Structure 1
């Protein structure tokens, strides 16, 4: 990850009205557009289209919120995507997850997690490493999830691995102190 941004966020005053309307739900507690979206606003048409998919994965996903966040945090930790990690630690806390649970998911210490979360995190790792799951893991997924939920597992991993790649390549920076330090993981790090 570059030490400073390779691509700076677009100033809000320079955005088209329709882009500003699309970004209305993507603001921080101070009313500023989140850095990732302001950075991707250099390509406004693509950003508006991407937000439709992103809104499904983040807001309308059929997976349990806490489980989805653990998957995203695993991806962020493995990809060393500090901005993604920081944003989703905050979301995970609002979803009721403890820092201990967040760190367990990130580091691979899953023994204390429930069975579904262990399966989802194993699927996350498999999808990162092989872009697939074997038959045994597929059986475990489908024993717990509907077809829609299983597809949302794929969409969630794909979406957040894409975002991790964007964050790391463009150098999207966190602001202020991190919510929780990005821990080392138990597996090789993804080259995002």
Structure 2
């Protein structure tokens, strides 16, 4: 990630009314638009379209909330996307995940997680590394999930890899102090012994 902010967030006063309406649910407790969305508002038409897809992935996803958040935390760690990490630590905690579970997903120490989460995290790694999954992992996904849920796995990984790319390229900074430190990349490397 660049040391310097490459693209500052757009001032709310400069946004179109229809963009402000789209961003209404994407505000923090003080009513400020989240930095990631204010940054992407440099391309308002694309942002509004992206929010429709993002709303499905974040709000209407068929995966269990806890599992989805573990996947996103894994992506944030693998990509070293600090902003994404911090936002989803907060969401994961609200979803009932404790810090040990959060760190486990991030570092690859998945043995204490349930079977579904281990398979989803293995799929996340495979999708990051290979942009696909092998036959054995596919069979495990099919045994645990519906086709709609598997498609949501693909959408979740794609969405959050996209966001991680934006964060890391544009230098989007966290909005405050990190709740948990982002584990180093070397701790987050995938384990070849996994499915």
TM-score, with normalisation over the residues of structure 2?
Answer: 0.95
Cα deviation, residue 132, structure 1: 0.3
Cα separation, 1, equivalents of 2:146 and 2:60: 15
Of stretches 172-181 and 89-98 in structure 1, the one that deviates more from structure 2 is 172-181
Is the aligned partner of 1:25 residue 2:25?
Answer: yes
TM-score, with normalisation over the residues of structure 1?
Answer: 0.97
Superposed counterparts of 1:1-192, under 5 Å: 1-184=1-184, 185-187=187-189
Cα deviation, residue 74, structure 1: 0.1
Regions of 4+ moved over 3 Å: none
Root-mean-square deviation (CA), in Å?
0.7
Cα separation, 2, equivalents of 1:187 and 1:181: 17
Report how many residues are paired. 188
Cα separation, 2, equivalents of 1:8 and 1:62: 34
Q: Residues 40 and 47 of structure 1 are in contact (CA less than 8 Å); yes or no, is this contact kept in structure 2?
A: yes
Cα separation, 2, equivalents of 1:68 and 1:91: 10
Cα separation, 1, equivalents of 2:139 and 2:23: 39
Task: Show CA shifts across 1:48-85 (max 9, x none).
Answer: 00000000000000000000000000000000000000
